[in-house]
Amino acid sequence: MKLLLIRHGESEADLLGVHEGRADFPLTALGERQAELMATYIAETYSPQLILTSPLKRARKTAAILNEKIGCELVEEPLLKEFNNGVLAGLSREEAAIKYPLPKGGRPIHVPIQDGESELDIRFRAENVLSKILVEYQEHDVVVLVSHGGLISNLLNSFLRQPINTEFIYPTGDTGIHLIETKNQKRIVWYLNKQEHLIGIEDSMKLSR
């Protein structure tokens, strides 16, 4: 089974400079265009049988744009939501630093943000949803997961069986694509954070204005 892990396009939170997480901002016009270009690339390169998406607006819209291109089954999966950042959701970074500063030495991985998750919680959620997908959808050749940067990074660490306190992170740009595969009891990484579909997008957006 091949898994395409795809981050949503640019959201309004990216322009506002706020903590996003569980704050439910929609895509910007640029974000929708990014999703369209990603969808064209996926449609021309792969044949997914299923799209699983986070129900948050920015991911759900990205997944809907992709589904318009390929027309396969689309299912909302709550476990694919971004890190639950609790009281930080929607706050500017400046305000958050004043109201909810990090503890000295950082927050231990077992301690959740107020009203949110801990690092252990999101890793367990990633392990949970990855196991669910590999078992329940194993008859599919290609499955797309549309999610968020933090959850995708945890999914990759889960896939690679990294320890919970690993130092490895996997940044994902707008509509960045990671391709991984399970085959003959092997776990294969084909590529990470592919964004070639966005080459020239800024110029094309300027021309359309």
Beta strands 73-76 and 186-194 are unpaired
CA 119, CA 71: separation in Å to the nearest integer? 35
Instruction: Please report the pLDDT score of residue 207 as a whole number.
Output: 47
- Do 117 and 84 touch, CB atoms closer than 8 A? yes
For residue 184, what are the contacts with CB-CB under 8 A and spacing of at least 6? none
From 47, 53, 76, 77, select the one nearest 5 (Cα to Cα): 53
Is 29 strand, coil or helix? helix
Residue 116 DSSP code: S
> What is the residue type of 132?
K
Q: Which residues pair with 183 in a beta bridge?
A: 186
Computed over every residue of the chain, the mean pLDDT equals 95
The CA-atom distances, in angstroms, between 27 and each of 52, 58, 65, 141, 197 are 18, 5, 11, 29, 18
pLDDT tens, 87-109? 999 999 999 999 999 988 889 99
Is 137 strand, coil or helix? coil
| pTM, rounded to two decimals | 0.94
pLDDT band at 203 (very low <50, low <70, confident <90, very high): low
Q: Which residues pair with 74 in a beta bridge?
A: 51
pLDDT band at 200 (very low <50, low <70, confident <90, very high): confident
- Do 151 and 80 touch, CB atoms closer than 8 A? yes
pLDDT band at 24 (very low <50, low <70, confident <90, very high): very high
- Asked whether the predicted pLDDT for residue 149 surpasses 70, the reply is yes
- Asked whether the predicted pLDDT for residue 206 surpasses 80, the reply is no
Instruction: Please report the pLDDT score of residue 103 as a whole number.
Output: 87
For the record, the structure tokens of 141 come out as 């050749």
- Asked whether the predicted pLDDT for residue 201 surpasses 90, the reply is no
pLDDT tens, 26-59? 999 999 999 999 999 999 999 999 999 999 999 9
Q: Which residues are catalytic?
A: 8, 82
pLDDT tens, 157-168? 999 999 998 999
